[in-house]
A and B are shown apart, each in its own frame.
Chain A
C-alpha cells in the first residue's frame, strides 16, 4: 500500500493511520507460554494510548526523556510508542550494561521515567536510584520476583494498562502536535572511544530514510521480522520498528535468547539482519555438522555446493544462465539448499543484511549461492543507519555497496564523509562533539578510511586513525590486511606492522581447533599450542594463505605495497586477560607493539629468528612465563605486472 509520508510525518501519526488501514492485521507477536501471541495494529494503538495516559499521569511531558531497558519485548516497544505520542523522547539502553554505565546515561539524558523488562534491571536501577534525583518512577514488564519489593517508585506496567481511568488529556491533540522536526529517539553510541554520546534523531531523519529503504526492498505488510538485536542499537529501531510502522509488517519477539533459533524456524522471517559473526558462526557450525554426515550425504552436499558456488550467484542476480545449469541448481535446491535453509530458519528470507564488521567473502558468497539474498550495508547511528547499501543484481563481497539514495559520499584524505536526509540533529548536550563531527556544509565525518571503486561502490578499509603510511608513501591499513588473513579460517588473529616502515610484516595466531584438525589428518604430532605453532609444516601452511593474500593485494594499485614480506607465528594466543585484546576481542595495537617490540625489531633487522620470554596471566589470576625461539619466514612479493593469469 502506497502512502504519502508528507502528511504522516511522525510515528504517532503513522501508528494512528496503521490502526485504521491495517486493522486486524498483526503488528507485534511474542512467544509466551509456548504459544505465539499476536497483537493487532488497532489493539497496539489502543494500548499505546492507554499507556500514554498512564505516563502522563506519572508526570511525563513533552520533551522529557524516558529510559527503556531490556530485551526485545512488546511492552517495551509499546512504551516507546506511548512516549512518542506524548512528545517525550525514548532513550533505549543496552540491557547488558552494568549499573554504572546505565547511571551515566540516565543522568546525562535526565531521564524522568524508566521502563524496564524485569527484576534484573529493577535491581540495577535501585542500586543507582539515589544518584538520579530526576528519575521519578520505574515501570517493569515482568513482575516475577518483584511482588515483595517495598519501594514506592516501582510499579508494574500491567497496573497502568489495566486501569480504567478518565482521560486527563486529549491524546488526539497530542498526536497532531508532533512534528517532523521533533526528536523521535535518542540513542547512545556504544562508546568505544570515551563516554557514550547521545545521538538525536528526528522523525524526519527516520521517516525519510526508512521509507526509501522500504521502497528499495519493496517491504509490505506480509513481511515478518524477528526482533533479537539490542533495542538500544539503531538497527533495531530502523529495521524492526520504523520499517514495521511504514510497511505495516509484524515484529516477532522471541521467547528468550536461548530459543532464538527455534523461534526463527517457527516464524520463518522474510527479512533478516545479523552481524557477520552470526553468519560466520552459522556457517562454521553447519560445516562441522556436515563432517558427521554419512558418506552419500556428504558427497551430495559437496557436489551440489560446487554447483551452487558456480551458478547460485548468477541466478540470484538474474543473469543469463544455461538451462542445464538451472536444472542442476533446481535439483540441488530440492535436495540440499532447501532443507539447509529450512534448518537455519532462512527458507522465507527475501532480504538479508549484514553490517558492522568486514565479512569473509567466502562465507558471504556461501549464503548467496544458497539463494539467500544477503547484502552488505554500511552505516552509522549518526546517519540513521544508511550510508551505503548493496542493490539487487549489483553485489560485490569486497565492498559495502553504492551510496544509499539521497546520500552523498566523498572521500577526503582517505577518510569517508557523507551527507543526506538521515544526518542526525546533534549529540545531546555536547555541542563541541557535534561541531567536530558535522562540518558547516553538512558533511559528517565517519572516522573510517575508505575508497570509492570504479563501479561507484564504497570500500571501507580501516579506522582512519589506524591508517598509516609506508616509507614508499603508500597507504598502510593494518585492519584491512588482518581481516583478509583472518578470513581463511586457520588464522585466528593477526597483527600487521608497517607504519613508517619499508615493508609490511605481521604476527599470526593460529586457530588451534582448525590447525589441530589439519594436524590430525596429516599425521603431524604435537604436544600443545607452542609446539604446534612452531612446526615448520604449520609455517608452510600459513605461508600458503599469506601468499594468497599477497597475490590478492598485488592486484590493487593502492595496496600493492602492503603485501606481507615477513611473518612469524606467535608462541601464545593473544588474550584479553593479558590486555592484548579488548573484551570484545579487538586487537590492542599499541600495547602489542610495545610488548613485542623485540620481535618487531627482528623483522626489520633482517634476523631469521628471535628468542622471547613473555609473562602470561592464567585464568585464575596466577602469572607465569613462557618462552620460545620464534622463526621468521620470508614471503614472495608480487609485482603489479605479475597479475595472476
Chain B
C-alpha cells in the first residue's frame, strides 16, 4: 500500500478531467464512453486485459489521439487538437512501451534532450559559449546531473545507451521524461521485461518522483503486484469500457474485474 494519506488525494484538485470519450479507428471501437479524472499528486494505474484500450487511453491523455466524441479538460480548460511540442510545454511527459531513446547518444545527452523545450536559443551566444549560451548550458547540465543523481545512474553517465542493459535504458528514459520537469508523467509499462530487482528499483523511483517532486503519475502496468503496491487509485478497462475505478483494495474485490481477468464461467 502506498504510504500516502488517501483522504489528502481524494480532496485535491482535478488536473485532468476526461468526459465521455469515444475513440474509434474506422469501425474498431477502442474506447467507448470512458470518463476519468486525474487528481493532482496521485499515482493512477490503468490496467486491463490485452486490447482493453489502455495505450489508447494514455494517448488520449497525452493528446496524441483526439477522440471523436467527448471532452478533455486540462486544468479546467477544454483541450482541442494539440501539437506534440505544445503537449510538452503543458507539462506532460511520457515514456514508451518500447524504449525510444537516441541509441548512439550517452545517457547524459539523452537526458539533456528532455530539456530541449526549456532552452532558449541564441545560436551566436551558443557558438561562442558565452553569456546566455553559457549560463543555459550550465543550468541545464546541473538539472541533468541532479536527475542522474536521483536515478543513481552516475556510473553510466557517459555510456552510449545502446550499450546499456534493458533495465538501465528504461531508467534513462524515465530520466529524460523527468528532465522536462513535468506536472503529469505518463509511464507506458515502465516495468515490462524487467527482473525482480530492476522492478523493485523502478517502483522506488516512481514513488520517489511522486513524493519528492509532487509529480502526478499515470501508469499502465501488467504486473499486478506492482500496481497494487504503488498506486493510489486503479482504473480497469475492458473492451474499451471502464469497468472499475477506485483504491487498489476496492478494485481487487470487484466482481466485474475478476470476471474480466479470469473470464466468466
List A residues at the B interface (Cβ < 8 Å).
32-35, 144-145, 147-148, 255-256, 258-259, 262
Contacts and interface: CB of A to CB of B under 8 A. Distances in A.
B6 interface: no
A122 to B, nearest CB: 15
A255 B212 contact: no
Contacts of A255: 154-155
Interface string B153-178: 01101000000000000000000000
A147 B212 contact: yes
Contact of A148 (B142, B149, B152, B211): B211
A33 B155 contact: no
Contact of B145 (A34, A144, A262): A34
Nearest to B141: A34
Interface of B: 108, 141-142, 145-146, 148-150, 152, 154-155, 157, 208, 211-212
Contacts of B148: 33-34
Nearest to A147: B212
Contacts of A147: 212
- Across chains A and B, which 10 residue pairs bring their CB atoms closest together, nearest first? A258-B155, A33-B145, A259-B155, A255-B154, A34-B145, A259-B154, A256-B154, A33-B149, A145-B208, A34-B157
A262 B150 CA distance: 19
A145 B209 CA distance: 10
A33 B138 CA distance: 12
A83 B158 CA distance: 39
Contact of B155 (A35, A145, A148, A262): A262
18 contacts: A33-B145, A33-B148, A34-B108, A34-B148, A34-B154, A34-B157, A35-B145, A144-B150, A144-B208, A145-B211, A145-B212, A147-B212, A148-B211, A255-B154, A256-B152, A256-B154, A258-B154, A262-B155
Contacts of B152: 256
A345 to B, nearest CB: 14
Interface centre among A33, A255, A256, by most chain B C-beta atoms within 10 angstroms, is A33
Contact of A32 (B149, B157, B212): B149
Nearest to A143: B212
Nearest to B207: A145
Nearest to B4: A148
A33 B212 contact: no
Contacts of B208: 144-145
B195 to A, nearest CB: 15
A233 to B, nearest CB: 23
Nearest to B155: A258
Given A33-B149, A34-B145, A145-B212, 18 more contacts: A32-B149, A33-B142, A33-B146, A33-B148, A34-B108, A34-B157, A35-B145, A144-B150, A144-B212, A147-B212, A255-B154, A255-B155, A256-B152, A256-B154, A258-B154, A258-B155, A259-B154, A262-B155
Contacts of A35: 145
B149 to A, nearest CB: 6
A404 B53 CA distance: 75
A32 to B, nearest CB: 7
A255 B157 CA distance: 12
A151 to B, nearest CB: 14
A581 B142 CA distance: 47
A631 B217 CA distance: 64
Contacts of B145: 33-35
Nearest to A261: B155
Contacts of A256: 152, 154-155
Contacts of B142: 33
Contacts of A33: 142, 145-146, 148-149
Contacts of B212: 144-145, 147
Contacts of B146: 33
B168 to A, nearest CB: 11
Nearest to B143: A33
A33 B139 CA distance: 12
Contacts of A34: 108, 141, 145, 148, 154, 157
Contacts of A145: 208, 211-212
Interface centre among B142, B145, B154, by most chain A C-beta atoms within 10 angstroms, is B154
A256 B149 CA distance: 10
A32 B152 CA distance: 12
A33 B141 CA distance: 9
Nearest to A33: B145
A259 B153 CA distance: 9
A34 B147 CA distance: 11
A258 B157 CA distance: 11
Contacts of A148: 211
A120 to B, nearest CB: 11
Nearest to A148: B211
A147 B149 CA distance: 17
Contacts of B141: 34
A601 B208 CA distance: 60
A79 to B, nearest CB: 22
A272 B91 CA distance: 48
B146 to A, nearest CB: 7
A255 B146 CA distance: 13
A255 B141 CA distance: 17
A80 B31 CA distance: 62
Nearest to A31: B154
Nearest to B149: A33
B143 to A, nearest CB: 10
A420 to B, nearest CB: 42
B9 to A, nearest CB: 15
A144 B147 CA distance: 12
A553 B146 CA distance: 58
A145 B149 CA distance: 13
Nearest to A254: B154
Nearest to B152: A256
A262 B157 CA distance: 11
A259 B107 CA distance: 15
A644 B110 CA distance: 63
A255 B108 CA distance: 16
